[in-house]
Amino acid sequence: MKSENYILLVVNPISGDSEKESIIASVTEAAAKRNQGLKIYKTTGDGDSAAIKSIIKKNRPERVLVAGGDGTISLVSECLLNTEICLGIIPAGSANGIAVNFGIPETMTEQIEVALSNCTIKIDTLFINEKMCLHIADLGINAELVKNYEDSGIRGKLGYFLQSIPTIFNSDSPFHFTIETEKGTVEKTGILLAIANANKFGTGANINPDGKINDGKFEVLVFKNLDFIEIFKTIQEKPELSSDFVEIISTEKVMISTRKKVPFQIDGEYLGETDKVTARIEKENLTMAVPELFCKFHAKENML
Ligand SMILES: Nc1ncnc2c1ncn2[C@@H]1O[C@H](COP(=O)(O)OP(=O)(O)OP(=O)(O)O)[C@@H](O)[C@H]1O
């Protein structure tokens, strides 16, 4: 197969609760229409990263599509870092936080169209405690929620909803954070500290409306309280959030320490409790196919 004219589709057969055969059939049809070859790799949960890297190295595809949840999207993204090969996302997980952030459409037909489109963008990726983060990591009450969700065994948005109230009542918050950036050291108290190269939580809450995914910076957001009026505002595209609710520090690197150990998650994966987190950004090292609106919002000419 000629490298320029070939698509690799990585499918996680067990992610979420959707069947994957219709995705495979639709991508096969779309590739044929474009006169492109298609190779399908189904993940096994064991040695997938090495296997995908080897396929990419041997037969450089023009594009890689991934059908799976956030875990599979992250895994494939890591295989494509610092290459010119474009990634297209077909969300097929239980929560799909990454897809929500990139504004990936709801229907499979539109998702495949976007994934194969020429609307591409080079994004920055975050490394948090040296683990790649495409979306959002946090310390505090949201990470507790992710843990309780994983423990409960109930998948999807309902699972998160059912865990949200007990998580709030049983939380050990507020937490005390020491935040060191190139601008100096500050002390903050809050229920949640998020590290975001993204605008939205997986729920669609627009918590970092001015964040740009390709500006060489990321944001540290300290949420001070559960102000429901402010939380409600985050359903808007451009919410003006009060600094009594959230304080935002834009930076290229950060070191965070806490007085006591705090629950910690990266891209929806609970990583236990910690009292030290470092984060840094790597500039424009991943090419992604995204909806036109997302491309426009992140156009360089719109940046200050
Ligand atoms: N064939 C397989 N059998 C069992 N586990 C697998 C297989 N392929 C991948 N996995 C596992 O699937 C997990 C990743 O799942 P992923 O995050 O994509 O979906 P999800 O958990 O349903 O979605 P979300 O992250 O949106 O909640 C990894 O732990 C990986 O080891």
| Total number of domains constituting the chain | 2
d(CA 54, CA 52): 5
Q: Are strands 37-42 and 6-11 parallel, antiparallel or unpaired?
A: parallel
- State the Cα–Cα distance between residues 207 and 246, nearest whole angstrom: 9
Residue 222 in any domain: the answer is: yes
User: Ligand 1 centre and the CA of 238: distance in Å?
Assistant: 33
77 and 208 inside one domain: no
**Predicted ipTM beyond 0.85:** yes
Atom of ligand 1 nearest to the CA of 13: 1
Same domain for 106 and 187? no
122 touches 40 (CB < 8 A): no
Task: Using the mean position of ligand 1's atoms as its centre, give its distance from the Cα of residue 240 in Å.
Answer: 36
CA distance 140 to 174: 8
CA distance 100 to 85: 22
Mean pLDDT of 184-206: 82
For ligand 1, is residue 93 a contact (CB within 6 Å)?
Answer: yes
- Beta carbons of 66 and 41 less than 8 angstroms apart: no
Q: Which atom of ligand 1 is nearest to the CA of 155?
A: 27
Q: What's the full length of the chain, in residues? A: 304
Same domain, 136 and 224: yes
Q: Determine whether 290 is exposed, middle or buried from the number of CB atoms within 10 Å of its CB (0-12, 13-18, 19+).
A: buried
Over pLDDT 90: what percentage of the chain?
56
Least confident range from 183-197, 203-217, 251-265, 287-301: namely: 203-217
Residue 43 Cβ inside 6 Å of ligand 1? The answer reads yes
Distance, in Å, from the CA atom of 177 to the CA atom of 290, rounded to the nearest integer, reads 35
Q: What proportion of the chain, given as a percentage, has pLDDT over 70?
A: 82
pLDDT at 12: 97
| 199 Cβ inside 6 Å of ligand 1 | no
Among the ranges given (122-131, 172-181, 192-201), the one the predictor scored with the smallest mean pLDDT: 192-201
Does position 1 have pLDDT exceeding 50, yes or no?
Answer: no
Kind of pairing between the strands at 253-266 and 184-190: unpaired
Among residues 117, 148, 176, which one ends one of the domains?
A: 117
pLDDT in tens, 20-45: 999 999 999 999 999 999 999 999 99
Quote the domain boundaries for residue 51.
3-117
Question: Which pLDDT score, from 0 to 100, does residue 184 have?
Answer: 95
User: Above 70 in pLDDT, residue 238?
Assistant: no
pLDDT tens, position by position, 197-229: 877 666 667 767 777 889 899 999 898 876 666
Q: Is the CB of 94 under 6 A from ligand 1?
A: yes
Residue 72 corresponds to which tokens in the numbers above?
Answer: 């599979």
Residue with the smallest CA separation from ligand 1 atom 29 is: 45
Q: Using a 6 Å cutoff on CB, does residue 263 contact ligand 1?
A: no
> 45-103: per-residue pLDDT in tens?
999 999 999 999 998 899 999 999 999 999 999 999 999 999 999 999 987 889 988 99
Domain membership of residue 150 (yes or no) is yes
Q: How many CA atoms lie within 13 A of 116 on its CB side?
A: 22
pLDDT of residue 229: 61
Q: Based on the domain organization, do 78 and 210 belong to the same domain?
A: no
Measure the CA–CA gap between 257 and 14, rounded to whole angstroms.
37
Bigger pLDDT: 161 or 117?
A: 117
Contact 47 CB / ligand 1 (< 6 Å)? no
Q: Is residue 290 part of a domain?
A: no
**Ligand 1 contact via 159 beta carbon (within 6 Å):** no
pLDDT of residue 2: 47
Residues 92 and 148 in one domain: no
pLDDT of res. 161: 58
Instruction: Identify whether residues 8 and 93 lie together within a single domain.
Output: yes
Ligand 1 pocket residue status of 15, Cβ below 6 Å: yes
The mean pLDDT of 225-254, rounded to a whole number, is 74
pLDDT (0 to 100) of residue 274: 95
Q: Per-residue pLDDT averaged across 114-133, rounded?
A: 96
Report the distance separating Cα 248 and Cα 219, nearest Å. 6
Cβ(202) to ligand 1 under 6 A?
no
Mean pLDDT of the chain: 86
Same-domain pairing of 260 and 146 = yes
Kind and range of the H or E run holding 228: helix 228-233
For residue range 147-172, what is the model confidence (pLDDT) as tens digits?
Answer: 776 776 665 555 555 556 556 556 67
The pTM for the full model equals: 0.86
> How far away, in angstroms, is 63 Cα from ligand 1 center?
22
Report the distance separating Cα 284 and Cα 213, nearest Å.
9
| Mean pLDDT computed over 260-275 | 90
Please compute the mean of the pLDDT values over residues 251-277 and round it to a whole number: 93
